[in-house]
Amino acid sequence: MTRLLLAALASMCAVTLGAQAPARFQSTAALVMVDVLVTDGRQPVTGLTLNDFELLDEGVPQKIEQLYVEQLPVNVIMVLDTSGSVDGERLTSLKRGASTIVKRLRRSDRAAVVAFSHRLDLRAALTGDRQALQTSITALTADGSTALRDAAFAGLALRVANATRTLLLVFSDGVDTASILDETRVLEIARRSDATIYGIAARDRPLLPANASRFQRSATRGMATDEEFLTKLARETGGRLLHADQDRDIERTFERVLEEFNSRYIIGFAPAATTQGWHRLEVRLKTRKATVLARRGYFAN
């Protein structure tokens, strides 16, 4: 089994950031591809065409060259919290949720499984072998503390450069107590990747008694911190944070993520400007009112 050691992770992050993490998006002859979700309430809006969209790069309208829906292969990288708090019924529900993703993969899709507690473990590298993926999920056990930021980076590091879309699905129910990477570094890597990140947070925290200690109350106040981190990851990459309010909701939430991801549009445009650095993006609908969710921008080389 391949181990993602924390020391190697720190070294990898330093190298990546030092090299300015080559952008997945290029403002050369290649099109910039932008993953877009359109919803009306909680329901994805389907059936839109190229002429329904307007895209602005640094405030300048761009000509949309291509529009795809579910035509490109998908790599699903599942980053799963297996710390001690997940043990029991929650772990069973988590396995069911991850298995649902595997069962719903199309022939051209692939998936990977990363388990994390205070350790990171690559349980299955990107593969189309459904049986190998299922075996890796069945073997999951729960123990230890939580290194969420390190795990999110490890998931991003598994992104491969080919003609696919990447869904990075991060499940967690705990507070990060073990990461060596800080939030800023991981968010920077996420911005430079073309992965779309969806977070799933399990929410059913026990209520504290009236005589709870200051330490217990402080820990409870901090429980929102990791949800904030997952929200930032999702926002930067055009994804979303979803909640499983009870353990029995976890499987359905995994299923919902894949269904929603497969209803997204992929817009391709050739940037009119060739300025290097960060480009702010905005995607709008011209023909109807709905909520449009897309990444905030891209880095041009």
- 10-residue averages of pLDDT along the chain (301 residues): 45 41 44 94 93 96 91 94 96 98 96 97 97 98 97 95 88 94 95 95 61 46 69 96 95 96 95 87 96 94 78
What pLDDT was estimated at residue 43?
92
pTM of the entire structure? 0.86
What domains are there in the chain, each with its CATH number? 31-69+267-300 (no CATH), 71-261 (3.40.50.410)
Write down the pLDDT at residue 160: 83
SS3 readout for the chain: CEEECHHHHHHHHHHHHHCCCCCCCCCCCCCEEEEEEEEECCEECCCCCHHHEEEEECCEEECEEEEEECCCCEEEEEEEECCHHHCCHHHHHHHHHHHHHHHCCCCCCEEEEEEECCCEEEEEEEECCHHHHHHHHHCCCCCCCCCHHHHHHHHHHCCCCCCCEEEEEEEECCCCCCCCCCHHHHHHHHHHCCCEEEEEEECCCCCCCCCCCHHHHHHHHCHHHHHHHHHHHHHHHCCCEEEECCHHHHHHHHHHHHHHHCCCEEEEECCCCCCCEEEEEEEEECCCCCEEEECCEEEEC
